[in-house]
Amino acid sequence: MIGRFPAALLLAAAAPVAAPAGQAVPTSAAARAAALAGDYTAAQMELVAALRLSPDGTFRYALTVGALDETARGKWRLTGDVIELTSDPRPRPPAIEAAPPQSTPGAPFGLRVLAPNGADVPAVDFVIEFDSGPPLTAYTPGDRWILPATERRTPRFVTFSAPRYRLPSTRLPLDPQAGRTAIFQLVPNDVGVADLTGAHLTVEGDTLTLHREDGTLRFQRATR
């Protein structure tokens, strides 16, 4: 995985940020923000995550769930009981681009999605639009995908998506011809790096709940 940074290693990667102990509840915004600085962890079935809020207003985040690893870093600020996050620098999302087609004499029209090393990328969802009728939804099998023999319509456009890479694609034109395979190239950019700009954390004592487009995750302050 490009950009792999197991979440379990995040807290060990830097010096501890001490959590305040036995002090009065801060009243000023600056004091409240200072009190929130520290390390937080989250753990669920097959998931481990870590979050560090540094006193200088920067944060680091990492998550591992199943085969997915992601990281993020940037700036944080406290507004009321909400911590606003801004990724800095903002990551470039991965993309899929059209590449020159491949000649496959005697074979029906098909398509492939290739990684930078030339290997087929499996489990990339796609939707093909035709010259008429409803679209066809399928996914890359990790090899050459072939248009079904029963399909008599003419493919015109394809749109890819891969949730595990947070990858949407533009609507890409198709030039279907027998004996030709349409080739599409995965451009990784900053795959594995989450853009947390616009995400926020709600504060409830020593619990921080991360709110982002794809759901929520509860962190507890780590003890050292």
- Round to the nearest angstrom and report the end-to-end CA distance of the chain: 30
Beta bridge partners of 128: 136, 158
Q: What CATH class is the domain 95-187?
A: mainly beta
Q: Report domain extents, the chain.
A: 7-91+192-221, 95-187
| Tens-digit pLDDT profile for residues 5-44 | 444 445 444 445 544 444 444 557 788 889 999 999 999 8
Nearest one of 163, 171, 158 to 126, comparing CA atoms = 158
- pLDDT band at 49, cuts 50/70/90? very high
Number of H helices, E strands in the chain: 1, 17
- pLDDT for 37: 94
For residue 50, pLDDT over 80 is answered with yes
| Tens-digit pLDDT profile for residues 139-196 | 999 999 999 989 999 999 999 988 766 777 789 999 998 899 999 999 989 988 999 9
Answer with the residue of higher pLDDT: 206 or 66: 206
Cβ pair 105, 179 in contact under 8 A: yes
Query: Looking at the whole model, is its pTM more than 0.75?
Result: no
Q: CATH classification of 7-91+192-221, choosing from 3.40.50.150, 3.40.50.720, 2.40.128.360, 3.60.15.10?
A: 2.40.128.360
Beta bridge partners of 130: 155
